[in-house]
Structure 1
Amino acid sequence: MDHDHADPNRLGQLHHVELYVSDFETSVDFWGWWLTELGYERKDEWDGGRSWINGPTYVVIVQADDDTAAFDRRTPGLNHLAFHADSREQVDYLTECARARDDSRVLYEDQHPYAGGYYALYCESPKGLKLEAIAPDSSG
């Protein structure tokens, strides 16, 4: 199936997310790492844009025309994106990687990995978008 078109069997499920970024190269490096670790594959590439796909859902990164506006997840608008991880071990691995990267930071260290009441990584992208990687319930 061509994933650029709607699938009526996936009513209400996320089709794609498009993020405009101020620092394209840094963002592509970060998002390429994050999405690849979560099972996405490179979809398309063009001047000022990249996309990654996982099943019917894809994520697009585009260089913003106006890169002077600062992003603040605490103001009205998008606060965070949450992704399924395949295990607690994957959450732990992503946490180690996020800590080792210069363009990311782990949030809520004092409560990690249960900051939201479940096993997850909360981290920030290079420009401050909060991301979650959520482990499945270990009981089944």
Structure 2
Amino acid sequence: METMEIHRGRLIDHLQLVVRDLPKAQTFYTAVLAALQVPMGGTGEGYFWADELFVSTADSQAAQGHLTGRHHLAFQAKDRAMVEAFHQAALAHGGTDNGAPGERPYHPGYYAAFVLDPDGNNIEAVFHGEAQRSADSVRVTF
């Protein structure tokens, strides 16, 4: 896997999910990430990745140990419409509803949707409301 450019500086450096059915997971995450305007990064033998998310099979060189079960991953969305697009894309591509788009009580303006991916991981898209950011991300070029 040759990476020429990555983005860093957000909350998560990277997250790896180990899945049972890689093609099914790739169909799901390709659609969900497209709705969030995050391009796929690449694929290899037993894995695919996009930005900080790395998804592999249990027998991939990147996976170690045993499958650990359900995880929670929250993607950032730039507005409410993107949260809704994420939810629609997820449901249309193998996801199961786990919380329709709407405001949550975590803090004022927290607007999110939740789905279970094909392996039962709880996947969220969240828009935190209007706020100013110092930068969208930090671009690192090799």
Instruction: Tell me if TM exceeds 0.5.
Output: yes
Contact 1:71 1:128 in 2 (8 A): no
State the structure with bigger RCO (CA 8 A, min sep 6), 1 or 2: 2
In the alignment, the residues of structure 2 paired with residue 89 and residue 106 of structure 1 have an alpha-carbon distance, to the nearest angstrom, of 17
Q: Percent identity?
A: 22
Aligned residues: CA RMSD: 3.1
Which ranges of structure 1 fall in alignment gaps of 5 or more residues? 74-78
CA pair 70-63 structure 1, distance change in 2 beyond 3 A: closer
Deviation at 1:62, TM superposition (A): 1.1
Contact 1:106 1:122 in 2 (8 A): yes
Partner of 2:77: 85
Contact 1:71 1:127 in 2 (8 A): no
So what's the TM-score if we normalise by structure 2? 0.68
SS of the residue corresponding to residue 92 of structure 1 reads helix
Contact 2:18 2:67 in 1 (8 A): no
> Hey, which bits of structure 1, 4+ residues long, moved more than 6 A?
none
Please list, as runs of the form range in 1=range in 2, the aligned pairs for 1:9-28 lying within 5 A after superposition.
10=9, 13-28=11-26
In the alignment, the residues of structure 2 paired with residue 108 and residue 51 of structure 1 have an alpha-carbon distance, to the nearest angstrom, of 25
Aligned residues: 122
Contact 2:77 2:83 in 1 (8 A): yes
Alignment counterpart, residue 118 of structure 2, candidates 114, 122, 126: 126
Deviations 1:59-85 (A, max 9, x none): 11111129xx77643xxxxx3011111
So what's the TM-score if we normalise by structure 1? 0.69
Please list, as runs of the form range in 1=range in 2, the aligned pairs for 1:61-100 lying within 5 A after superposition.
61-65=55-59, 72-73=69-70, 79-100=71-92
SS of the residue corresponding to residue 65 of structure 1 reads coil
CA pair 98-42 structure 1, distance change in 2 beyond 3 A: closer
SS of the residue corresponding to residue 128 of structure 1 reads coil
